[in-house]
Amino acid sequence: MKRFSSALVAGIWLLAGTLNAAAHHGWSWTTGGNIELTGIIKTVKLGNPHGVVTVDAEGEIWIVEVGQPWRNERAGLKDGDLAEGVEVRFVGEPSSDPENRLMKAETIFIGDKEYPLYPGRID
């Protein structure tokens, strides 16, 4: 019985961690409405489960989640497009917690180029 209980507790613990990760990597943590954010890229970390871009927007530091590598490529982004010092505009959903300067990008604009990461979500 002790072995079964330990396995059950371990299973519940793993499931809880998986659900928490899924909730963060989905859209449930956002407001559901779009904002625009323009700034200068400070740092970029691309990869799975999604890329993260740190942006200085008029003195406020924001963290912007961009797509997974395949999604960025599908949108037309090339290596080096998202780079330190580049001015960028994001359209996407901010965190529902106003204390967090965090958003999930739906579309990225660099210069006159538009990169739709989530074309089905664009208004």
Note the pLDDT tens digit of each residue in 102-114.
Answer: 999 999 999 999 9
Cβ neighbours of residue 66 closer than 8 Å, sequence gap 6 or more: 46, 50, 51, 52, 53, 72, 82, 105, 108, 117
**Pair (36, 64) in one structural domain:** yes
In a 10 Å sphere around its CB, with 0-12 CB exposed, 13-18 middle and 19+ buried, how is residue 106 labelled? buried
Looking up residue 109, the CATH number of its domain turns out to be 2.40.50.1010
DSSP letters along 69-115, please? HHHHHHHT--TTSS-TT-EEEEEEEEBSSTT--EEEEEEEEETTEEE
112 and 72 belong to one structural domain: yes
Same domain, 26 and 36: no
Task: Say whether both 24 and 38 belong to one domain.
Answer: no
Which residues are paired to 36 by β-bridges? 91
On whether both 36 and 24 belong to a single domain, the answer is no
Residues 56 and 82 in one domain: yes
pLDDT single digits (tens) 30-87:
888 899 999 999 999 999 999 999 999 999 999 999 999 999 999 999 989 999 999 9
- Regarding whether 47 and 20 lie in a shared domain, the answer is no
What is the residue range of 83's domain? 32-121
Q: What is the pTM for the complete model shown?
A: 0.77
Percent of residues, the chain, with pLDDT higher than 70 = 77
Do 93 and 49 lie in one domain? The reply is: yes
pLDDT tens for each residue of 78-110: 989 999 999 999 999 999 998 999 999 999 999
Between CA 93 and CA 32 the distance in angstroms is 6
Do 22 and 47 fall within a single domain? no
